[in-house]
Amino acid sequence: MQFVFSSKKKTILEIICISILIPVILSSCSSAKGVKYFKNIPDSVTNTISISEHKFVEPVIQINDLLNITVQTTDNKNSADVANATNEKKNSYVVDKNGMIEVPLVGRIKVEGMTSIQAKEQIRELASKYYVDPIVNVRFLNFYINVLGDVLRPGRYPISDEKTSIIDAISLAGDLNITARRNNVLLIRTEDGVKKFIRFNFNNTDLFKSPYYYLKSGDVVYAEPLPAKARTGTTDTSRDRFISLTATIVSLIAITFTLFR
């Protein structure tokens, strides 16, 4: 048995197919555009774009900070490590409520408000009274960030480098998932007991200029998922698939009936 479509029926069928395909195509294009990082940069290998990052401000030592401090010397007369660099726990010092720490053979030192470099120089100066050319290292042990949301590996990350940016945080977490909103990454920071909420758009290079581009210890980075993915976590997907399949079958039956009636 052979069916022959009239031109009118063919036109109806074409209109239906186009009506179904156009939203799918537009949705795919829209999703692809949102995935690209820094899409305001021209797509050309001949043009070099220069963007200045916001100036990095070194973090300062605060009360309750945990510091790793080592003081070493090569003085033959006193050839010993004041602090063994391989024993991180032994070399840990908590800044007390007065902003002070107590280093063996060096004494109590006020370090609150200093950068790690300033504290290092202060300790080296005091240690020079007892040792020849002491080598001092000071670094934060409680510097960490939290990365949550739609990333490959969400979690809490200890940071050894004080100069860590929001891009570094996303990299540590394995990058944003394909279903994450790149134009709406949230930074949560606590300053003086107040929560601050800052939005970043990874589709645009303006994020490099933000005064919040470099992170501080305790910052939380949250990658928001796209609405479609968010819905899958709060709805019954099997039910939705059943409803969608049923609607498709009913539509096909209606179209077939219209064409061959």
List CB contacts of 106: < 8 A, sequence separation 6 or more.
71, 82, 123, 126, 127, 130
Would you say residue 1 lies in a domain? no
Overall number of domains in the chain: 3
Per-residue pLDDT at 104: 86
User: Domain of 84?
Assistant: 66-140
Per-residue pLDDT at 18: 53
Burial code (b: 16+ CB inside 10 Å, e: under 16) for 87-112 equals eeeebebebeeebebebeebeebebb
Per-residue pLDDT at 46: 74
Average pLDDT over every residue of 55-81: 81
Would you say residue 44 lies in a domain? no
Strands 144-149 and 220-225: parallel
Residues 162 and 213 in one domain: yes
Average pLDDT over every residue of 151-178: 96
220 pLDDT exceeds 60? yes
* In the chain, % of residues over pLDDT 90: 52
Residues 16 and 86 in one domain: no
Per-residue pLDDT at 76: 45
Per-residue pLDDT at 173: 97
Residues 209 and 255 in one domain: no
Would you say residue 87 lies in a domain? yes
Contact 145/220 with Cβ under 8 angstroms? yes
Per-residue pLDDT at 236: 52
Would you say residue 40 lies in a domain? no
Average pLDDT over every residue of 140-160: 96
Would you say residue 108 lies in a domain? yes
Per-residue pLDDT at 179: 94
Would you say residue 41 lies in a domain? no
212 pLDDT exceeds 70? yes
Strand partners, 103: 107
C-alpha distances (whole Å) from 123 to each of 81, 133, 145, 190, 246 are 15, 12, 28, 30, 75
Q: pLDDT of 15-42, one tens digit each?
A: 555 555 555 454 444 455 567 898 888 8
Average pLDDT over every residue of 242-257: 70
Measured CA to CA, the distance from residue 99 to residue 195 in angstroms comes to: 24
DSSP per residue, 116-134: HHHHHHHHHHHHTTTSSS-
Per-residue pLDDT at 247: 67
pTM for the whole structure: 0.72
Residues 148 and 217 in one domain: yes
Count of Cβ atoms closer than 10 Å to residue 85 Cβ: 14
Per-residue pLDDT at 49: 82
Domain boundary (105, 120, 140) is at 140
Residues 132 and 190 in one domain: no
Residues 168 and 202 in one domain: yes
Higher pLDDT, 243 or 94: 94
Per-residue pLDDT at 28: 47
Share the mean pLDDT of the chain.
Answer: 82
Domain boundary (140, 159, 189) is at 140
Residues 219 and 247 in one domain: no
Confidence of residue 131 (pLDDT cuts 50, 70, 90): confident
* In the chain, % of residues over pLDDT 70: 70
Strand partners, 157: 145
Residues 132 and 154 in one domain: no
Residue 250 is encoded by which pair of tokens? Answer: 């009913």
Residues 159 and 217 in one domain: yes
Select from 1, 80, 16 the least CA-distant residue to 257: 16
The CATH number for 128's domain is: 3.30.1950.10
Confidence of residue 143 (pLDDT cuts 50, 70, 90): very high
Select from 191, 237, 194 the least CA-distant residue to 215: 191
